[in-house]
Structure 1
Amino acid sequence: MLGRGDAGSLELVDLSGDGVESGRRPWPAADAAAVVTARPDTRWVWADSARAYRSILRAGSRVARAWDLRLCRRILRTAVDPAGRGPLGPADAWDDTAPSIEDEGLFVVGAQDEPSVDEAVAELRRQLRTVASAPDPTRLTLLLHGESAGALVAEEMHLAGLPWDAQVHERILTDTLGQRSPASGVPERMAELADHVRAALGDDTVNLDSPPKLLRALRRAGIQVASTSRWELADQPHPAIEPLLEYKRLARLLVANGWAWLQEWVRDGRFRPVYVPGGVVTGRWASSGGGALQIPRLLRPAVRPDRGWVIVDADVAQLEPRVLAGMSRDLRMAEAARGRDLYAGIVAAGAVSTREEAKYAVLGAMYGATTGQSGRLVPRLRRAYPVAMRLVDDAASAGEDGGTVQTWLGRAAPQPDAEWLDLASAAGAEGADPLVRDRARRAAGDRGRFTRNFIVQGTAAEWALCWLAELRARLDALGAVGAPRADRSGEVFATRPHLVFFLHDEVMVHAPREMADAVRAAVEAAAEAAGRRMFGSFPIDFPLDVRVIETDGVTPHDPPG
C-alpha cells in the first residue's frame, strides 16, 4: 500500500492478502515511481487511481495490479452493506467522490488532502471483511479487481491519448457543415438550411436553436407537434421538416464535435478525454470531458495511427444478448450464438422470421417492451428461450415489488428512492385514490424495466472489464519493439502496444506495425479468456469484428523530416 505519511511523505506498507501488516517504511513522495518499478508483481492499494496512478504514470512507471479503495467501496456499499450496519459502517469520507485534479502536473502521491496511510489500511480491512461476508466472495473479488484494473486503464488511455488527425477532422467538418462565416461563425451549409426552414415556415426571424421559439413557429405554420424532437417531426408532411431535421443533425455535430471541441480536446495529434470508470450505476464508464463515449461514425476517419504504427480496432458482436445467455445458462440461446451472428441464429432456430425481428425481440426482452414491434415479438422469444427470459422477467418482478437485483459478479442496483417507496405505500393503503394507484403502477413498471436491463447491462460491463484487464496483461507480455512513436508525451508507451480507446464493447490498441498480427491475436484471446473467467465452461462465445487501421506516409502529427 502507498499512502500519506507524516509531513506529506509516502508511507509504504506491506500487507498480506487478509490485510495483516508485516512492515512499513517512509519514502519520499517524489520517488513513488521508483517504488513501483522495484516491485512489479505487487497489487498496489491506494485511495484513488485517478490521483495516485496518474502521477506515477507521468514519472514513467506502470503497475500491473491495484485495489482502488473508493471505487471498491462504492460497489461494496450497495452490494453488501447498503444500510451501513455491516463492516463498512455508516457513510464517511470514503463514500465521497475523490477530490478533482485541476492541474495534473501539481499532484504527487502523499498530498495533504489524501487519507493517511493508517486510514487507508483501516478502510482496506473493512472492505476485506465486507467481501468475506458476501454470499459469493469469489465473484465479488473478481469484480473489485476488474473495477480497479479499469481505473488503471482509464489513466493510461488518458495519458497515451487516441491518435487524432486534426486536419482530417477539420476537412470533415468543412465538407459536412460548410465554411464558417467570418461574421457569425455559422457554417454556410447550416445557414442555407436555416433560410429554407424560415422560408417554409413564413418566419424570417425564428431561432432554430431555441426549442420554445421554434415550437411556436411550427404551430403558427400549422404543424401541430408537442415537441421539437426529430422523432415527432419526422411524421409531419410539411416542406419545413426535411431541411429542419438536417439542420438539427448538423447542429448536433457542430456542438458536440465541431471546431470548438477540436481546439479544446485535441492537442499534439492526440485526443485525451477524461474517463470515469463505473460512472453509471450499471458499471458502465462515463466521461467527464471530451465526450469519448459519443464519437460519431462520421469522424472515425480522423483516428489515425502514427507513422510506422497501426490501430487495432475491435468490437464485440451482440455483447448483451450473449451475456444474457451466459448468466441464465440458456443452452438454446448459447447454441443460437455459437460461431455466428446471434440474431441470425435466432432466425435459424425458428423463433422469428427475419434478423430485424430477432433484434427487436431481444432488445424488447432486455428493455421490457410491451408495445410496438418489440412488444409483439417478445412472446415468441419467451417461448423459444424460456430460461433466459425467466431471468430477466424475474429481475423485472423484483424491481416492480421494490426489491433490488445484482449482476453476475455482484454489483447491486440502487434501492428505490424515498419518493418511490412513499408512492407505493400510499397506493397500497385501503381506499387509495385510483390516480395514486395508477401512478404507482407506472412507477413500478418503470423500475421493473430498469432492474430487467440492469442485470444484463451491468454483467456486460463486467465482461468488458475482464476483457480490458486480460488484454492489458497480454499486451504487456508482448513487450516493446519497433521505433518510438511520433508522439512522446507518454514515454511509458513509446515503444509498446497500448490501449487508447474503450467504449462499452469496443477497444482500440495503438501498436507498432510489425506487431499488428500479435496484437490482433491478443485482442481475440483476451475476449475468449474474459468469457471463461466470467462464465467458466458454459459454451458461450464472444466473436469480435477486428479491423487494422493503417496510415501511409507522413501524418500531420508526425515530426518533420
Structure 2
Amino acid sequence: MALAWQDGELLLAVPAGPADDARPVAPERYPDLGAARDRLLELERAGPRWVWGDTRQVAPHLLAAGVRLRRCTDLRLSRDVLRRSSRCRWPSGPADDEVWDGLQAPPDEGVPSLLDLPQLVTGPTLAQVLAEHARQQRVLATAEHAGRLRLLLAAESAGALVAAELKHDGMPWSRQVHDAQLRSLLGEPAAFGGRPSRLEELCAEIRGLLRAPRLNPDSQPELLQALRTAGLGVQSTRQWELEQLQHPVVAPLLEYKKLSRLATAHGWHWLETWVRDARFHPDYVVAGVVTGRWATNGGGALQLPRQIRSAVVADPGHRLVVADAAQLEPRILAAMSGDEQMARAGSGADLYAGLVADGVVATRPQAKVAMLGALYGATSGEAGQLMPRLLRTYPLATGLVEEAARTGERGGQVTTWLGRTSPPPSSAAAWTALGGEVSGADLPESERRDARRSSRDWGRFTRNFVVQGSAAEWALCWLAGLRTLLAGLADGQGRAPRLAYFLHDEVMVHTPEELAEQVVAAVHRAAAQATALMFGGTPVEFPLSVAVVQDYGQAK
C-alpha cells in the first residue's frame, strides 16, 4: 500500500487484490492525517508493507497522531542502495530523478502537529511513489543475490522507522542527575556563558606553568605556540603527543581538554537544547556513514560520555535493558569468510581468548591488537608483527580482508554481505596511470608517491568497509527484529517496552519492570534471527552482553 501527501491531501493507494502486481484502485483522499487515522489503522491490521517516499517526512506525523506502522519501504533509502550496488544495474532515470535526489529532512521545530502537515511534508507525488517503487522492483528482479538485497532494503527501511520512534519517544533523562554530574566535574556554571569554575582554575594553572598570562587554552595555535615557547618541541596538541612530555603542565592540560570537551558537547547548553519532558530526543541519520552505520544530526547520541550516562534513568516502575554484541566485527568476518577455525575460536563469549587458545598470540591484549590490525590494515608496530600469525591460522578470514584491500588499492570497489557497495575512490585516475595505461615513468616522482599513498589509504578503507558495513547490516536486522518482538509485549496496564537507544552494536530498551525478563529473551531471540537471516546455519556464535539496570551508568 502506498502513501503520499499531495496538494494538501493525504493519498492512499490500496491494491485491488492480493497479487503483488495488482493495480491500485483510484486513490483514497483525506484532508489530513487525522481524518485518515482510522483508515490507516484498519488497513494496518492486514499487515501490509507501506510504501512511501521518505520516512523522515512521514513518520513524525504518524507518531504524533498515535499511528505506529509495522513495516514500510523507504524509497529514498532503497534508491540510494540500489543506485550504488554492484549487484544490480540501475537504469538511467526519467525527469523526476531530481525529485528523489533533492529530498531533504523537514526542519526540526519541535513536535509536529496535524496542522503542520501540509506545510512541512513535501516530496514525490503518489504517482511518483508508485513509479519509483515499480522501477526498484524491476531492478531487484534481475539483481545478483537479490534475496540479500531485499533483506538489506527491508532492514534499512525498518531502521528508518526505529530512528523516527527513537526521536519521538526519547530516552529517559534526569536533568537533576545530569546537572549534579556536571557540577561535580566542572564546578559551578559561569554567568553569561563563560568557563565553569573548575575550567577557570585549570586555565589559570596552565597559564602559570607556561608563563603565558593571556593564553586561551581552547585555541590550538595559541596553545601550540605557548608549549613551544616553554621549550617543548611538540608538533601538535593531541593527547598522545602531550602524554610523551615530561613537564608539570601535562596533567592539568590533559584534564582541561577532557573537561572542556564534556562542557562543550554535553554541558548545560546541551541539556537545555536536547532534553525536554525528561527525555533526550536524539536525531539519528540512517545510513549517515558510507558503510551503512548511523550518524546523528547534532546531539551527540553516538558519543555519550561515561561521566553522564547515569543521567539516563528509567521511569518509576521501569527498567533499562542494555545489550551489546560482543566483538561483532571479527565474528562477522568469520561468518562471511566461512572460516571454521575462527568460528571455533569465537565459540563462547570471548573470541580474543580463543585466539590465545589457538596459539596465535600469548595474551588477550595481543589478540585484540592483532585482530584490529587485520580489520584496519595495520602494517607496523605490534599489529604488523602479529599479522603473519593470523594469516597462517585463519587463512579464509584474513584472505577476505586482504583481497578487499588489494581491490581498493587497484581503485576498485567492494560490497558488503547484503549488497551495499563502497564509493569509488577520488584518485582512481592516478592509480590507473600507475597500473599501466600511462607509464609510471610519465609521472613525476612526487605524484607517484602521492598515488601510492592514496592507494594504500583506500585499501585500508575497503578492507574495513566489507566488515564494518556487514556488521552494520547484522545490527540493523537485530534492531528490526527486536522492534517487531517488542510490539507484541505489554504489561497489565497496557504499557509497552520501547526501544530507547541504538549505538552501532548496542541497544537499549525502556520497559515496565515486570516485562524485563521477556525483553531480555526478545533481545537474544532477535539476535539469533538476525544471524539466521544473514548467514543461515553458520557455526559462528554472536553472544550478547545483557544487563537490566535502573540507570545506564550501571550497565558497564
Compared CA separation, residues 219 and 110, structure 1 to 2 (3 A): closer
1:275 and 1:285 in contact (8 A); partners too: yes
Q: Does 1:423 align with 2:430?
A: yes
Q: Which residue of 422, 433, 453 corresponds with 2:444?
A: 433
Q: TM (normalized to structure 2)?
A: 0.93
SS at match of 2:27: strand
Q: Does 1:363 align with 2:372?
A: yes
Residue 554 of structure 2: aligned partner:
none
SS at match of 2:123: coil
Residue 285 of structure 1: aligned partner:
294
1:315 and 1:546 in contact (8 A); partners too: yes
Compared CA separation, residues 448 and 88, structure 1 to 2 (3 A): farther
SS at match of 2:161: helix
How big is each residue's C-alpha offset from its partner over 1:353-386, in whole Å with a ceiling of 9 and x where there is no partner? 1110110111100100101121221111111110
Q: TM (normalized to structure 1)?
A: 0.92
Residue 514 of structure 1: aligned partner:
514
1:276 and 1:288 in contact (8 A); partners too: yes
2:369 and 2:382 in contact (8 A); partners too: yes
Compared CA separation, residues 445 and 527, structure 1 to 2 (3 A): same
Residue 489 of structure 1: aligned partner:
none
Q: Does 1:449 align with 2:456?
A: no
Compared CA separation, residues 6 and 172, structure 1 to 2 (3 A): closer
Distance across 2 between alignment mates of 1:24 and 1:90: 22
SS at match of 2:488: helix
Compared CA separation, residues 277 and 124, structure 1 to 2 (3 A): same
SS at match of 1:539: coil
SS at match of 1:534: helix
C-alpha deviation, 1:82, in angstroms = 9.1
Distance across 1 between alignment mates of 2:108 and 2:239: 38
Q: Does 1:392 align with 2:401?
A: yes
Residue 491 of structure 1: aligned partner:
none
Compared CA separation, residues 251 and 257, structure 1 to 2 (3 A): same
Residue 36 of structure 1: aligned partner:
40
C-alpha deviation, 1:93, in angstroms = 2.3
Gaps of 5+ in 2: 552-556
Which shifted more, 72-81 or 423-432?
A: 423-432
Q: Which residue of 447, 452, 459 corresponds with 2:470?
A: 459
How big is each residue's C-alpha offset from its partner over 1:105-134, in whole Å with a ceiling of 9 and x where there is no partner? 354379673211001100001111111221
Alignment of 1:96-495 (within 5 A): 96-103=102-109, 104-105=112-113, 107-108=116-117, 113-182=122-191, 185-417=194-426, 420-427=427-434, 428=436, 429-430=438-439, 431=441, 432-478=443-489, 480-483=490-493, 495=495
C-alpha deviation, 1:4, in angstroms = 3.8
Which shifted more, 86-95 or 176-185?
A: 86-95
SS at match of 1:108: helix
C-alpha deviation, 1:11, in angstroms = 2.0
Distance across 1 between alignment mates of 2:185 and 2:9: 54
1:402 and 1:421 in contact (8 A); partners too: yes
C-alpha deviation, 1:209, in angstroms = 0.3
Compared CA separation, residues 132 and 394, structure 1 to 2 (3 A): same
1:407 and 1:458 in contact (8 A); partners too: yes
Amino acid at match of 2:101: D
How big is each residue's C-alpha offset from its partner over 1:368-423, in whole Å with a ceiling of 9 and x where there is no partner? 01011212211111111100000000111111111111000000001122xx0232
Distance across 2 between alignment mates of 1:25 and 1:191: 64
Amino acid at match of 1:288: N
C-alpha deviation, 1:180, in angstroms = 2.1
Q: Which residue of 12, 23, 26 corresponds with 2:25?
A: 23
SS at match of 2:12: strand
2:106 and 2:120 in contact (8 A); partners too: no
Residue 45 of structure 1: aligned partner:
51
Compared CA separation, residues 370 and 97, structure 1 to 2 (3 A): farther
How big is each residue's C-alpha offset from its partner over 1:264-301, in whole Å with a ceiling of 9 and x where there is no partner? 00111100010111111000000002111010111111
Distance across 2 between alignment mates of 1:5 and 1:305: 37
1:482 and 1:514 in contact (8 A); partners too: no
1:9 and 1:26 in contact (8 A); partners too: no
Compared CA separation, residues 439 and 19, structure 1 to 2 (3 A): farther
Distance across 2 between alignment mates of 1:314 and 1:63: 25
Amino acid at match of 1:37: L
Compared CA separation, residues 526 and 89, structure 1 to 2 (3 A): farther
Compared CA separation, residues 194 and 19, structure 1 to 2 (3 A): farther
Which shifted more, 405-414 or 233-242?
A: 233-242
Residue 525 of structure 1: aligned partner:
525
Distance across 2 between alignment mates of 1:227 and 1:294: 24
1:320 and 1:456 in contact (8 A); partners too: yes
1:88 and 1:130 in contact (8 A); partners too: no
1:169 and 1:302 in contact (8 A); partners too: yes
SS at match of 1:21: coil
SS at match of 1:403: coil
Distance across 2 between alignment mates of 1:352 and 1:476: 45
RMSD of Structure 2 on Structure 1 (CA): 2.0
Which shifted more, 217-226 or 108-117?
A: 108-117
Compared CA separation, residues 111 and 124, structure 1 to 2 (3 A): farther
1:4 and 1:112 in contact (8 A); partners too: no
Compared CA separation, residues 251 and 38, structure 1 to 2 (3 A): same
Question: How many residues in Structure 1 have an aligned counterpart in Structure 2?
Answer: 538
C-alpha deviation, 1:84, in angstroms = 5.5
C-alpha deviation, 1:325, in angstroms = 0.6
Alignment of 1:54-133 (within 5 A): 54-80=60-86, 85=91, 91-103=97-109, 104-105=112-113, 107-108=116-117, 113-133=122-142
SS at match of 2:418: coil
1:365 and 1:378 in contact (8 A); partners too: yes
Compared CA separation, residues 195 and 338, structure 1 to 2 (3 A): same
Amino acid at match of 1:271: F
1:528 and 1:541 in contact (8 A); partners too: no
Amino acid at match of 2:141: A
Distance across 1 between alignment mates of 2:230 and 2:19: 71
Distance across 2 between alignment mates of 1:444 and 1:297: 37
1:396 and 1:450 in contact (8 A); partners too: yes
Distance across 2 between alignment mates of 1:443 and 1:184: 43
Residue 487 of structure 1: aligned partner:
none
SS at match of 1:60: coil
SS at match of 1:511: strand
1:84 and 1:91 in contact (8 A); partners too: no
C-alpha deviation, 1:183, in angstroms = 6.7
SS at match of 2:487: helix
Compared CA separation, residues 183 and 93, structure 1 to 2 (3 A): closer
Distance across 2 between alignment mates of 1:270 and 1:322: 34
2:6 and 2:126 in contact (8 A); partners too: no
SS at match of 1:477: coil
